A and B are shown apart, each in its own frame.
Chain A
Amino acid sequence: MSVVISGVGLVTPLACSPSELTDALVQPHSALQPSDELAQLPSDLAGRVGRVDLKPWLIRRKDRKLLSRAAQLALPAAGTALGTWAGDREELGLFMGVGREPPDTGASEPSLAASQRDGKLDAEALSTRGRELYPPLLPLLTLPNLVLSHISINLGIRGWNGTVAGEAAAGLGALVEGYHAVAEGRCPAALVGGADSRVDFGSARDLYRLGRASPQRPPAEGAVFMMLESSETAMNTLAVIEPSSRRRSSGAIPRPHWSLTGDLGAADGLFDLLCALLSQRWGEHRSSDDEGAEIGVWLHSPPTPPS
């Protein structure tokens, strides 16, 4: 039994479907855009996705306000990758690479500002004015596992799961976890992906300060998901995968797509793998992050059907 990729979904600045991405890889064009918000940083370019239509994916439309930006990108990408899979979603696995805890993009600043007296935190002010101004939904937007939760809730997934916290290699790490869950029979199939959004001023500033963004590596947002299944049950095989060795690295592997779409954070390694799949670049693909984790997977062509 081998494990195969049977579906893909993406929401990125460069493309939001496999066919769009294939076209973009054949005729490369940059999706990076300048932003006034980033004007004070070394580059004002970022890879942004426009407003995402969540209506087809949300059970309750009013829940949109509960979704962080990463969750808004992840849900349609995950739903597209899942496609029309007809198995029991109670057993379907869900594994995600998530980045740093999503920043609150300044939402708590009015509360903190109101909690100060003469430049120092004042407990009484915090417990009164500060508390009144504290955004009640903030905890729901900043916990990293809630991206996974929104996918679970809206797509009805209840199986084995995990989050891989990290940077570029996190999505590929999630793919490897999903691979093992399927290969070991813990779930019949697994949805694996990565999602991140780092284009607000605070996140982009932090990345530049950490040395994890540059004019050649602009910050971006996006989500990439893949459906993994056993070769014995998959109705569709885009590629066969298996993990390769893991090793320590000295930093992030530069990606050609950074000049087109920017660095997609926790989705970056999976995006690179998706580009390889659509370009039929079979072989080993590795992803590493600035923290020194390097993960590799082998991507094999689908078996040729017997004539």
Chain B
Amino acid sequence: MSVRFATERRDVVDYSIVLLVERDGLRVTVRLYDGAHGKNELHRYTEQGGKQPAEVFCRDTLGVGMRMAIDEIERGYEAMIESWLSR
């Protein structure tokens, strides 16, 4: 999991949480959560189709969404990778 984020005072103003797998020495994205557009968005990736359209996964603040994204990846990364492999 790759995490980066930006803060201003108590607010998270941007973040990017990426679940990656390593294949043949290359890092490939499986899932991306980000706050780039001021919303908590999720992009699924598939092995064949690449990046899928954004879905809003949380309507709370970016700080809440970011923590939720980390928790989701920590709890469900195996299923996410399986899903990525099967599509």
| A, B in one complex | no
Give B contacts to A, CB under 8 Å. none
